[in-house]
């Protein structure tokens, strides 16, 4: 009997994802379905400016609410920047244990798992692709590039790789 394929671990080996740092996160919808925006309204117009927020679907509004709760759920976690796209989310998560690391410092994986679970519970749907993409932001230049990418991503959504 053939063995089932094993899911590849995409996390950096031996890296402590609960340590201080800036993390660029991308979470995709299951089967990359366009369910986070009111896509019909988007097709009716082009974004004139990156200041114009995309029209979120009901699911997108729940996601936005849950993203905004993360800062209050975890005292050492901040969502610095985020954007909700039609079928994925980008965000910069900052872990800052300046007041001393608690015994239960959350890992990035735990934060994302609880976020995804809360949204799924509220919607009653299985919304998410397994796992998520992360990138450890290593310097100011990289941070600025990622911040700008998140800021302007709705303007480029039709060309997006996700």
Task: For residue 63, give the CATH number of its domain.
Answer: 3.30.70.1290
Query: Residue 158's pLDDT is what?
Result: 67
Angle ∠(126,131,132) on CA atoms, nearest 5: 110
pLDDT band for 154, please (50, 70, 90 cuts): confident
SS3 of 68, please? helix
- Please indicate whether residue 96 or residue 98 has the higher confidence score (pLDDT): 96
Q: Give the pLDDT band (50/70/90) at residue 23.
A: very high
Does the residue 55 lie in any domain?
yes
Q: How many structural domains is the chain composed of?
A: 1
Evaluate whether residue 1 is within a structural domain: no
* In-domain check, residue 151: yes
pTM over 0.85: no
Provide the pLDDT for residue 104: 65
CA angle 122, 124, 130 (to 5 degrees): 95
Say if 115 falls within a structural domain.
Answer: yes
Domain residues for the domain of 42 are 21-157
In a domain, 2, yes or no: no
In tens, the pLDDT along 38-71 reads: 866 654 445 555 556 778 999 999 999 999 999 9
| Assigned domain for 8 exists | no
Asked if residue 47 belongs to a domain, the reply is yes
d(CA 132, CA 25): 7
């Amino acid at each position: 009997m053939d063995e089932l394929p094993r899911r590849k671990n995409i996390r950096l080996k031996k890296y402590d994802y609960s340590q201080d740092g800036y993390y660029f996160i991308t979470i995709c919808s299951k089967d990359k379905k366009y369910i986070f925006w009111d896509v019909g309204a988007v097709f009716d117009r082009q974004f004139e400016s990156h200041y114009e927020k995309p029209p979120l679907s009901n699911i997108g509004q729940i996601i936005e609410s849950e993203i905004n709760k993360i800062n209050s759920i975890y005292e050492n976690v901040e969502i610095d920047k985020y954007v909700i796209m039609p079928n994925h989310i980008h965000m910069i998560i900052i872990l800052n244990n300046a007041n001393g690391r608690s015994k239960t410092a959350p890992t990035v994986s735990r934060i994302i798992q609880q976020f995804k679970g809360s949204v799924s519970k509220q919607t009653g749907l299985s919304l998410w692709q397994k796992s998520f993409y992360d990138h450890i932001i290593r310097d100011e230049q990289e941070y600025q590039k990622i911040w700008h990418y998140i800021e302007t991503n709705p303007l480029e959504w039709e060309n997006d790789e996700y």
